[in-house]
Every structure is written in structure tokens, then in C-alpha cells.
Amino acid sequence: MSPEIGTDQGSFLSMVRVALKRRGAPVPRPGPDIPGADWAERARRIQAEALDRWEELLARFTAELEAVAGVVHRAAPAGVPALVSRIARERELSRVVTWSEPALGLQDLLACLRAEGLEVEDGSPHLGRPATSEAVETIRRRLDRGEVGLTGVDYAVAESGSLVLVSGSGKGRLVSCLPLVHVAILRPGQLVAGLEEVGVLFEVLHRQAPPADSPSSVTFITGPSRTADIELSLTRGVHGPKELHVIALS
């Protein structure tokens, strides 16, 4: 992504805010060219602000996500297994398909989930391993059986209540799309104010990642799956999870 594209991206995101009538939406205007060396510094400032404003941003994120039927939970890392188990059991579910444990970022999480009595399977491909037809079929079977999909997130957007998931090793795209319930783990520092900040972080990610390691997809998730027919009858879960739960770590 060139600096010129990054500048156009900022104008485009401003236009999106105006179209959505977001509070405080700036008037779209051309931005200055940004030298490549400055992107990393901008990203550093954004990440520092994300940590400093965690509680403030989380309050906004919670309000926006709850407005589209999502649910936000607060938990310490040690409380995540019991919380995931409660979410599953209250819906009479027992099978969990997950990102890999390193991608989730919580040590021994999968073992703790199994200790809670849940059936847990890794539903993500791992880069560096041969993509044999047998391996692909194994993951497909796991996803078909999965009732709860457990993922981390890469970023979250406070102004829209959105999660941002970037594909990669151990981070299967379908884990957040196929199960009945999606549970996502959100960490301090991953929640930023708006889409413009996400654009800057993507710019840095693109510049740092070798072409072979560049993500193949980026998924934005705002609430559970919703589908309306021609009579505008709204149904959840037709093309994705019926419920979205975000566990904000404290």
C-alpha cells in the first residue's frame, strides 16, 4: 500500500462516517502525504492511546455492540474458561471449535475448557504444514461439529462496536463464521477509537509483513449475523452465528 493510497483511505473512512451519521464525523478532505517512516510512529501513538483510554473506549464499544444485539463480558484471564463454559451450557451446547492456543494468547486455555467438560477442537489451519486433502477435511469436520466458535481479535473499533479479525497461522476464518455462537477474546490495547486508526495499523502491518506472510483476508464483525427477506422480516443466524459474545480481559 503506497502513501498515496493511505491518504485516500483516510478520506474514504471519513466519508463512511458521514454517511453513517456517526457523532463527530469529520468533513472529508484531502490529507497530507505521509512519509513511510512516519507510519510506525503513528501506529505507536495509536496503540499507546488504546491502552491509556481502555475503559473509556470499552464503554463506547459496549454501547455500540449492545445496540446490535452483541454482548460484552468482563473477566480476568483465569476466569475465561468458566465464562465460556457458562455461555455454552446456558444454550445446551458442549462442542467448542477454536483458534490455536498461541493465537488465542492464553496459556492452557484449551485444557481448562476441557476440564470444564467441553469438547474442544482446534479449527484452524497452521502455516508451514502441508495442506493435504486429509488435513483440510479434518478441519471441515471439526467446523461442522462446532457449536461455539472461540477466537481472539486483532483490533476492535469503539465507534461502531466492530471486531477486526486478520487471517493467519492458527486463526481460521470460519471459526468465527460457522458455529451457532461466536465468543471473542478482546485484550487491552486492541480496542481503538475508529476506523481511521485501524487503517493506520493495517498500513504498518502491510509494510512489515513479507508478501508470503501477508494476510489473505480481513473480517469485520458487527454483532450477530442478520438477514432480512423482501418483507424486511429480520432473522439471526441464517448466514453466521446467532449470538456474538465479547470477553474483555481485565
pTM, entire model: 0.79
**Looking at 49-53, 203-207, 213-217, which range is the least confident one?**
213-217
- The full set of domain ranges for the chain reads 54-249
Q: Which pLDDT band holds residue 167 (cuts at 50, 70, 90)?
A: confident
CA angle 114, 169, 174 (to 5 degrees): 65
pLDDT average, residue stretch 39-60: 95
Instruction: Quote the cell numbers at residue 25.
Output: 464525523
Q: Which pLDDT band holds residue 234 (cuts at 50, 70, 90)?
A: low
Q: Are 147 and 93 in contact (CB under 8 A)?
A: yes
DSSP-derived letter for residue 156 is E
The pLDDT of residue 29 is 47
pLDDT tens sequence across 180-194: 999 999 999 999 999
Contacts of 161 (CB under 8 A, 6+ apart): 61, 62, 63, 64, 65, 66, 67, 68, 70, 222, 223
What is 54-249's CATH superfamily?
A: NagB/RpiA/CoA transferase-like (3.40.50.10420)
For residue 138, what are the CA distances in angstroms to 94, 123, 124, 133, 145? Answer: 19, 9, 10, 9, 11
Most confident of 8-22, 118-132, 176-190: 176-190
Phi, psi of 88 (to 5 degrees): -65, -50
pLDDT average, residue stretch 200-227: 79
Element (H, E) at 160: none
